[in-house]
Amino acid sequence: MIAIYPGSFDPITLGHLDIIERGSRLFKQVIVAVLRNPNKTPLFTVEKRLEQISLSTQHLPNVRVDSFDGLTVKYAQIQQAQVLLRGLRAVSDFEIELQMAHTNNTLSTEIETVFLATSNEYSFLSSSVVKEIARFGGSVDHLVPPHIALDIYQCYNLKSLI
């Protein structure tokens, strides 16, 4: 089965990577799909995020990286995927994720949403948390891959940490 793992990944974190690695053991192929969302002002361009994700997943041969816009379900159909992979951290994720899964189910009953529970150690982790820490000069070395930490420090001009 082919699974799509859609998201913003602005930037990708060790929490995302944990889901991707575990997903890659369950599915024949995992496509990490960066949503081109004109309503959000991201820290990194979609092209930069694609590059970051590719570097972070190069050890996983059945993981592919792509971007898309519009409906996730439509994108999944084009890719001939049967699964939307999503991560669940806490109850706060659950409500919105369940609503999204139900909505997508009304658009296509062929495509199933599969949730993976976050590994305990990453249950607090989000791209926003990473950006918040870095913005105030904290280290994010334990939260993202090394090359992404450098990208983030560069963005915030934290020369002391580079």
Nearer to ligand ADP, 19 or 140 (CB): 19
Residues forming contacts to ligand ADP in the complex (CB under 6 A) are 7-9, 15-16, 19, 86-87, 89, 93, 118, 122, 125-127
Q: Give the nearer residue to ligand ADP in terms of CB position, either 41 or 157.
A: 41
Residue 8 or 56: the one with the smaller Cβ distance to ligand ADP is 8
Q: Are 67 and 46 in contact (CB under 8 A)?
A: yes
Q: Which is nearer to ligand ADP, 3 or 19 (CB)?
A: 19
- Please report how close the Cβ of residue 92 comes to ligand ADP at its closest, in angstroms: 10
Exposure class string for 67-102: b at 16+ Cβ within 10 A, else e:
bbeeebbebbeebebbbbbbbbbeeebeeebeeebe
The torsion angles phi and psi of 68, rounded to 5 degrees, stand at: -155, 160
Q: Cβ of residue 100: shortest distance to ligand ADP, in angstroms?
A: 8
DSSP state of 45: -
Q: Please tell me what DSSP assigns to residue 152.
A: H
Least spacing, CB of residue 39 vs ligand ADP, in Å: 11
Q: How many CB atoms lie within 10 A of CB 27?
A: 21
Shortest Cβ distance from residue 77 to ligand ADP (Å)? 19
Enzyme catalytic residues: 16, 40, 89, 127
